[in-house]
Structure 1
């Protein structure tokens, strides 16, 4: 693993830096493998990144878009990660609909829908049962509690090692989420973290020893590159 930590002056600088990096990674993946597989994060921090990406002149037909986690709500719900990314970015570029792979969240059976998404992943990446797909880029956020994707502290999802997709749990509400082993198979994982409220969790995640049950972002140790892009307010504690 190669680890990079950058503290940017403010959230706008964080967005600009993440845009530069993501575009670079997309172009490299397409050059080397003919396409780019990209998993998106939800939340407020990546939204301006998606808006900026909508203005980039990229070969959209060569992108395959996934989500790292999703609330168990319809895509037109205000809390839908899919809905946010479509409104900010995907609806504004000529990307084929068959290249967009949202998590299914309308079947009232989260475990069954997690299975469906697992099968879709395996088909797109053409990997067998014991293998994990390797994403080119996985974007992640981090909550004040140190969670990432829908891997929340002290939940069963943290223990899943033999699946790509599982059911997360946030205060009794189901989510669908990538597992830690799937995230760790990626060529590039990029955390985008903003705000002073993230400092206590970051201190534990970057500590030499701490509990990954308590701070799940510590589980993320990808085989490729790990980028932590922080604004000044979040990163102050690491200086």
Structure 2
């Protein structure tokens, strides 16, 4: 396992406190139930977001108002009330067919990231299969070594998606994984044992794993 594993009583509280103590000037957000709980608690924490640029580590290729949108979830839980410096959407409305549109979206977001420079904090989750962002086991995105953002898809996750790649993530100053609940125990245990899963390959200047006792013990 690469990085620091920090066992905490409440992952959501630990995450909110960490963000509040640093107030990153750039931050990439995640999706999923754990992220939602993190952001709901973050909404109750006093943070000045006026100098923060928000990005997304991955996104389903759906409009922001779609229930499956990571950005939509983040806006609903805290972003709309946060009034940050900027919110950089991955999904863009397009007249192109979905496949061409998402390819154009990947190119556009990669250009944005290249211009923005290293992101201060990237928030990632952990799927039961060991995926993180939309870097799924045995998917083509795992082998990308140049592009910062690529389309990706997985049979277990039907939506077309955009995801940051390893080259994009590894430039971050800090990557924070939030891992909560017994349902994440098996994946976390496999990573701790050194198994080669998508999340195991994450590298950055600093990687911090926040995990609760249920995720550690199962």
TM-score normalized by the length of structure 2: 0.90
Query: How far apart are the structure 2 equivalents of 1:57 and 1:233?
Result: 28
* Contact kept? 1:66, 1:100, Cα under 8 Å: yes
Query: How far apart are the structure 2 equivalents of 1:142 and 1:45?
Result: 9
* Contact kept? 2:15, 2:38, Cα under 8 Å: yes
Please name the residue that 1:231 is paired with: 212
From 120, 126, 143, the counterpart of 2:112: 120
* Contact kept? 2:20, 2:46, Cα under 8 Å: no
Please name the residue that 2:103 is paired with: 111
Please name the residue that 1:90 is paired with: 79
Aligned-pair distance for 1:220? 0.4
Please name the residue that 1:179 is paired with: 165
Aligned-pair distance for 1:106? 3.6
Aligned-pair distance for 1:91? 1.1
Query: How far apart are the structure 1 equivalents of 2:211 and 2:92?
Result: 31
Q: Which of 87-96 and 177-186 deviates more? A: 87-96
From 175, 180, 184, the counterpart of 1:194: 180
Q: Does 1:221 align with 2:203?
A: yes
Aligned-pair distance for 1:105? 4.6
Please name the residue that 2:148 is paired with: 164
Question: What secondary structure sits across from 2:34 in the alignment?
Answer: coil
Query: How far apart are the structure 2 equivalents of 1:89 and 1:56?
Result: 10
Query: Structure 1, residues 9-66: CA drift from partner, whole Å, max 9, x if none?
Result: 3xxx11111111112222xx5xxxxxx1100000111213222322333332200000
TM-score normalized by the length of structure 1: 0.82
Tell me how many residue pairs correspond in the alignment: 211
RMSD: 1.8
Residue correspondence of structure 1 range 1-239 to structure 2 within 5 A = 3-9=3-9, 13-26=10-23, 29=24, 36-96=25-85, 99-107=86-94, 108=98, 109-123=101-115, 125=116, 133-171=117-155, 173-208=159-194, 210-211=195-196, 215-222=197-204, 224-236=205-217
